[in-house]
Structure 1
Amino acid sequence: MAGSRLEKFGTVFTRVRDLMRAGVLKEKDKPIWYDVYAAFPPKREPLYVKPRTKVYGKQAADTVPDIFYKEDAIRAFIEKYQELEAQGLQDEDALFEETGRALLSEGLILRRRGGATISAE
């Protein structure tokens, strides 16, 4: 065989539908999702698109973008806060401000709720 036809011709729904019409798949053995998909089909049919591996003779770069969540900024703040606290800073306000400046120098901008951003000065 030259290659796999998996997911290239027809959707999973059409293949299951055709198996049921041909009698290969019995009505009692149909998947749970079949009736829901039949009642509410997608607006656009899923289409197989062959993935591009080359771009003008060069290998396409397989890059995954960095994803940062709100929790990452909070975690960075807490780690930096504890690090500065271990160095001997005891005043909570000064410790908070110094943590904000340290994170700002690393490229992480913090904002107080209802207030101004922490300045780098």
Structure 2
Amino acid sequence: MSNAFIITMVIIALVFGVFPMARFLYTNFLPYLKDGFSQDAVLKYGVATDAEIVNTVQTSSWDGGKPVYKLTFRFKTKDNELVESTIMKPLTFKEIGFLKEGYIATIKYDPAKPHKIALYDKPLILGD
């Protein structure tokens, strides 16, 4: 094999393998992982409040056979501060039908850092 062929194969591997994987890890996987740890802490120690879902976007990630969504919530803290924050959450297809723009959900937020939130309630789905 010639050196040119080996260099070409390395470049192809980088362009079509390593770079897309690194991009996926940086833009989807690491934020989702970090968000999950943050949500666990907020669920234990956070303050509950009602929040309106103002945006839902499906990501390219899946977790446990469920698509991962970015959910953006708007709520007021106990100090009457208006906050808008986003979490990433795997949702069943039934939950997707309920958790959309305009839905009022119960969340918990960290009083010291109100942008750290976690979805606290699950929508009531009859027939389950």
Question: TM-score scaled to structure 1, two decimals?
Answer: 0.27
Q: Highest CA radius of gyration, 1 or 2? A: 1
Higher strand share: 2
Question: TM-score scaled to structure 2, two decimals?
Answer: 0.26
Question: 1 or 2 for the larger relative contact order (CA 8 Å, sep ≥6)?
Answer: 2
